[in-house]
Structure 1
């Protein structure tokens, strides 16, 4: 049963949903006339609702300019909340009318995490959740929770973000990797000094915190300013593709490369390893409560789900 006090409280604080609907249309279209046309009412009716809303709140929501209107500071704050709420409600209506249940999930991650860890293991998820409709949203940098009605986002960092609740997935290890073919025709480096004389494939550093060879050696406590690079890539996925094709040695992020290391496509070269202070997390957007399906997907991402 709903809480009667809470219901009455909402009615007191939000006296007119009609006024909010018409306010959203006016703010989005920057026009009373266009809002009235969209809503199928008269301009006078729209103006009356906006005036009622302003009187109720005790503040102006629009600056009335010559042949134009503009949101006030208070109007912008209200529009930001109302617009997001309307989008969420519209999304729920669409899901219900289309018969879509909670089996639909939107997961955001970097392209590297998606291509190297999610997609190679997607068949196991299909076996565990055959009815799941998964939508992957990939971005080059840290996934943004704004827009696209994202349910979960995978991020690498310290776990402290303002736009959601972080759930730890796993820590990371970074170590040199190469293809079996490259290793068969070259001597494997055994010490930091040996890396001065081999072909290295480097990645550009990004906001996500990818290490370069120089920063990796720095973490080991060894400075190597004159390393020999055979290739430098802006995308980490290109770096790994180059290593797979035998063009040299790349830095392997162990958790991302687990499928390739397990299959033997890539080989770990030495016991030298750097363990970053940051880790991988799944972030649940603010205002969302994890559903059983979301928790199941998190277990699968972590590797804890049964196979």
Structure 2
């Protein structure tokens, strides 16, 4: 005798009534949980059984009990509902949570943003900022990040881009380094120890090209924080970005070598994923960041 052909999957809305009934072993308790009448639950279970062509519950005077097919189907129903709830929780976190997850360089986080978080809490008490530090340019589309502070030229795609602040640069070194290694002109950079803040890009390329310099001593690091720390320790000259490095110079940890800061084509930008539900938080955070960098 040929086996009966399997039906199409039943309508999803039957799963809630079935799973609640199985969990409570009661149509009445399931109805109370789902805020419907017991007869409505009973009717949905009956329709589900008719659709499947199987008896899922044995009905007793004071309780119901899953049959063997009911036990099997309950595993499917419970897994489906749990998967939906987990997925919706992630969806709600992304689109409705007051938490804004932002990525930025560790130096910007440690020296600029975190020391001033108390002013953010005062200005925006309902916004929870979750900070992630990275030197990488994170693709917002493929991560759980909401936004990022990026340094560079705005050639990023699939995101909204807003200027936080233009920047300038200067050459920085410790007082002790300059005492041991006098610097009188850019042309003598070739005799200096040049500190690179990253390994994938030559930060000094424009300067050494413009002044026909051949560096003889270079140190490479993988973050701006490490490069600035190396300069503070007297290991050489680093390129400092302003206004984010203003405090380091004011505190006397480093000395600006050139008589004035020079403009850069790059800038600090606020980039965010397109998210209508969080847009107001993005706008408020951007305004706070603009004011923060303006007062450094």
Question: The TM-score by the shorter chain falls in which range?
Answer: 0.5 to 0.7
1:128 aligns with 2:123: yes
> How do 1:1-307 and structure 2 match up within 5 A?
18=12, 37=75, 39-40=77-78, 87=87, 89-91=88-90, 93=92, 102=98, 104-130=99-125, 132-146=127-141, 149-183=144-178, 185-186=179-180, 188-206=182-200, 211-218=202-209, 221-229=210-218, 231-271=219-259, 275-288=263-276, 291-303=279-291
Residues 16-40 of structure 1: per-residue CA shift (max 9 Å, x gap): 9949x9xxxxxxxxxxxx9983533
- Bigger-Rg structure (1/2): 2
Matched residues in 1 for 2:159 and 2:125: separation? 28
- How far apart in 2 are the matches of 1:122 and 1:131? 13
- Secondary structure of 1:270's match? coil
**What is the distance in 2 between the residues matched to 1:248 and 1:41?**
60
Cα distance change, pair 94–248 in 1 and its aligned pair in 2 (3 A): closer
Deviation at 1:273, TM superposition (A): 5.4
The secondary structure found in structure 2 opposite 1:200 is strand
Give the CA deviation at 1:188: 4.9
Q: TM-score, normalised by structure 2?
A: 0.61
Structure 1 residues 158-213: Cα deviation after superposition (integer angstroms, max 9, x where no partner): 32432211011122222211224434x3465231123233333233343xxx5422
User: Matches of 1:41 and 1:232 in 2, distance apart?
Assistant: 51
Partner of 1:11: none
Instruction: Report the number of matched residues.
Output: 228
How has the CA–CA distance of structure 1 residues 18 and 306 changed in structure 2, closer, same or farther, with 3 Å as cutoff? Answer: farther
2-structure distance, mates of 1:179, 1:153: 31
Q: Contact between 1:154 and 1:283, CA under 8 Å: does it hold in 2?
A: yes
Return the alpha-carbon distance in structure 2 between the equivalents of residues 240 and 271 of structure 1: 19
Match of 2:7 in 1: none
Q: What is the alpha-carbon root mean square deviation over aligned residues?
A: 4.0
After TM superposition, the score normalised by the length of structure 1 is 0.59
Runs of 5+ in structure 2 lacking a partner? Answer: 1-9, 16-71
Deviation for aligned residue 1:272: 6.7
Q: 1:113–1:256: 8 Å Cα contact kept in structure 2?
A: yes
> 2: distance between equivalents of 1:215 and 1:17?
65
* Counterparts in 2 of 1:251 and 1:151: CA distance versus 1, 3 Å: same
Contact 1:296/1:305 (8 A) holds in 2: no
**Residues 17 and 91 of structure 1: is their aligned pair in 2 closer, same or farther, counting only changes over 3 Å?**
farther
**CA-to-aligned-CA distance 1:64-110 (integer Å, 9 cap, x gap):** xxxxxxxxxxxxxxxxxxx9xx84x42365699xxx963x3211123
